[in-house]
Structure 1
Amino acid sequence: MSDPKIRNMEDFAAVSGISRPTVSKYFNDPHSVRQSTREKIEAALKEHNYRPNIYAVNQNRRQTKNIGLVVPNLTDPFFAGIARTIEGLIVKAGFNPLLLSSHGGPEQEISNLDSLRSIKPAAVLLAPLGRASLDAQVAEFASEVPTVLFDANLDNIGEAFFGSDNDQSVSLIVDYLCRSGEPPAFFEVGTPINPNAYKRRSAYQAAMERLGHEPHLIQVNGEGWNFEEIGFREGTRVLTSRRLPTNTILCSNDRLAIGLLSAAYENGIQVGLAEGDSLRIAGHDDHPFSRFTCPSLTTVSQNYDAIAARSVETALLLIESNERLKTREETLFEGKLEMRGSA
């Protein structure tokens, strides 16, 4: 006869000859039991090929080992990259990351938070949609579950926010573009979905005025997260109109810039710094693909590693102390200029 199927921890305790409380203690912390007991349990695990349902185990704890991670859109390589970094830090700390994507929709963002609420996470790291977020419902969730925001801020929601200093980073690249050529126009979606875009617009205007130049906004139509498509479609329209106020364009983000680079190529417009090039294009974010465009994209890098590390560190502090922060923390990290071939 084949070995009976082990369905739960009670079955495993029975076949291994170890008490259920001791088995549970082992799964909570393997080093909390004697070495001889630990070796016996691990031998039984291997013999019976048993793996406990970690989420079910967590549900029985007063404080679970699950940490939720919600991002706006995992098809965006920026969010995929920072999520991968955060997941690694969570695992290293001994917790289980639960990654969910809001797919650019506010209802899905709330649905993700509701799903996390049902499994009692120890904390949640949230990169909110921003302007599209349903603030009241996000705030309600954050009042129940320790929540740390990153990338985009929602006023007075969550225990802390960590993101990029858009004033510093945009000023940095505007200074460079003005110093190295014609002052830039600012290419953006007229009604952006992310609050960072508004901050970058304001930072561009302030930097241009500080340097004694007139700001020029190129505001285009577009909705959703298909920034490359918007940059290509609207960039084609703008470039073929031949009415640019300058030969330098600073895009609100790298994905728009990638679309604009493609539009320039399709219309026979040479981009870069070489003699004969008629247009300079720059972006913001240091998107993973920005080094591999043609020409490579001049941009400002966000300090992804610092944002990820500080976000996880704060979540772990909230879990360990089992207390909320007395004052909401907001920390912005400076960007770094990445000078490449496009500008």
Structure 2
Amino acid sequence: MNAKIKNMEDFAQVCGISRPTVSKYFNDPTSVRKSTRAQIEAALDRYEYRPNIYAINQNRRQTKNIGLVVPNLTDPFFAAIARTIESLIVDAGFNPLLLSSHGGPDQEVANLNSLRAIKPAAVLLAPLGRASHADMLAAFAQEIPTVLFDANIDNVGEAFFGSDNHQSIGIIVDYLCETGEPPVFFEMKTPINPNAFKRREAYRAAMAKRGLEAHLIQVDGDGWGFEEIGFREGSRMIAQRNLPSNTVLCSNDRLAIGLLSAAYESGLRVGAGAGSALRIAGHDDHPFSRYTSPSLTTVSQDYDAIAARSVDTILNLIESEDRLDQREVTLFEGRLVKRGSA
């Protein structure tokens, strides 16, 4: 009863209701649920708080900026999806503000804080994943409409749009099994991206469905230097000559590109034809995968659909000035891309 309410943040805290919902109530009391409205009005009576309506209107002034945060712009994969999203944002009449987290969780938070300061209309975020400060991302998404893409973090943002890793890994495992020896799975022990964990389990499930034993080759490495890790650990794996199969499915294309280089340096011929010692496949259809030697068999993610759905959702949130009643999660199927490496 004696608590002093200085501003709406204080009032939201004593209410036990999020700051955006309280702001929404003061803009239009009928726009929130009846039970929420009753809770806010009871707190108004109890604490005798009266907001500064002018300040509220100033804070609600929406910019025409939409933030776009990706893990690492030096990766052509994220550069390509960012270009697609930027184009869609511009076509909708908004200004994209593109920021890279450079693979670092502290930089990811710093990017969001920079965006918070300029009050963007909304934010599209491809989070680092395992390394992200999930609580800080969740707090940001409570203040500013946020949609996640590529990597999911539970309970962060209004929606997540990404790839169906179980479907995509399933189709490439089936293809490799039907055209040669069943694949082993080449991955990092502690991958930074949550998609890698889903692909590991998808590989196990696909092999079990065929009644085959799963073989995981888990290598040391951390961060975003996937090609270096693939080359270094692939060279070691080849030198040990104890592969249970001549077919290797890599968790992502960048690891596969490093492994292709290791095979070349080791004098091994990669491909599906006679005289080939190794078959190598990846996942993602990285922009460089078609230009390796041999070109890389992989699975293409439907990033045009992911980008379009992400932007459509964020624009609807901006237009409605409302939050979704339930967090949306939509996964898009991948497409098998057959090339020379397998």
TM class, shorter-length:
0.7 to 0.9
Q: Which residue of 2 aligns with 1:191?
A: 190
Show the 5 A alignment for 1:288-299.
288-299=287-298
Q: How does 1:318-329 map to 2 (within 5 A)?
A: 318-329=317-328
Q: Give secondary structure in 1 for the equivalent of 2:137.
A: helix
SS at match of 2:323: coil
Q: What per-residue deviation string (whole Å, max 9, x for no partner) do you get for residues 135-181 of structure 1?
A: 10000000000000000000011000000000000000000000000
TM alignment of 1:88-127, pairs within 5 A: 88-127=87-126
Q: Provide the C-alpha distance between the structure 2 equivalents of 1:273 and 1:97, rounded to a whole number of angstroms.
A: 44
Question: Could you tell me which residue of structure 2 aligns to residue 41 of structure 1?
Answer: none
Structure 2: how far apart are the matches of 1:290 and 1:144?
39
AA matched with 2:232? R
* Amino acid paired to 2:208: E
CA distance in 1, matches of 2:286, 2:231: 17
Deviations for 1:7-49, whole angstroms, at most 9, x for unmatched residues? xxxxxxxxxxxxxxxxxxxxxxxxxxxxxxxxxxxxxxxxxxx
Runs ≥4 in structure 1, deviation > 2 angstroms?
A: none
Written as runs of structure 1 = structure 2, the 5 A alignment for 1:1-343 is 62-343=61-342
1:191 is paired with a residue whose SS is coil
Structure 1 Cα separation of the partners of residues 186 and 147 of structure 2: 31
User: 1:273, CA displacement in angstroms?
Assistant: 1.1
Other structure's SS at 2:132 match: coil
Instruction: Output the aligned Cα RMSD.
Output: 0.9
Structure 1 unaligned runs (5+)? 1-58
Letter paired with 1:66: N
* Secondary structure of 2:244's aligned partner: coil
What is the CA–CA distance in structure 1 between the aligned matches of 2:132 and 2:212, rounded to whole Å?
A: 35
**Offset, 1:274:** 1.4
SS at match of 1:324: coil
Query: Structure 1's 309 and 339: CA in aligned 2 closer, same or farther, altered over 3 A?
Result: same
Counterpart of 1:235, as a letter, is: G
Instruction: For 2:233 and 2:145, locate their aligned partners in 1 and report how far apart those are by CA, in whole Å.
Output: 41
Measured against aligned partners, the alpha-carbon deviations of 1:170-226 in whole angstroms (never above 9, x if no partner) come to 000000000000000000001000000000000000000100110000000001100
**2:131 partner SS:** coil
Deviation at 1:61, TM superposition (A): 7.4
Identity %: 76
Per the alignment, in what secondary structure is the counterpart of residue 186 of structure 1?
strand
Following the alignment from structure 2 to structure 1, what is the Cα–Cα distance between the partners of residues 284 and 306? 13
- Report the Cα offset of residue 106 of structure 1: 0.4
1:70 maps to amino acid: V
Q: Which amino acid aligns with 1:159?
A: E
Letter in 2 for 1:85: T
Quick one: which amino acid aligns to residue 108 of structure 2?
E
Counterpart secondary structure, 1:83: helix
The code of the aligned residue for 1:287 comes to H
Residues in 1 aligned to 2:61 and 2:208: alpha-carbon distance in whole angstroms: 55
In the TM superposition, residue 60 of structure 1 has moved relative to its aligned partner by: 8.8
Q: Give the Cα–Cα distance (whole angstroms) in 1 for the partners of residues 86 and 173 of structure 2.
A: 34
Question: For residue 24 of structure 2, what is the aligned residue in structure 1?
Answer: none
**Secondary structure, in 3 states, of the residue corresponding to 2:260?**
helix
Q: Structure 1: how far apart are the matches of 2:198 and 2:189? A: 13
Letter in structure 1 aligned against 2:327: R
Give the TM-score normalised by the residue count of structure 1.
0.82
Give 1:37's aligned residue: none
Gaps in structure 2 of 5+ consecutive residues: 1-57
Instruction: Give the alignment's TM-score, normalised by structure 2.
Output: 0.83
CA distance in structure 2 between the aligned counterparts of 1:178 and 1:197, rounded to whole angstroms: 21
Partner of 1:35: none
2:313 aligns to what SS in structure 1? helix
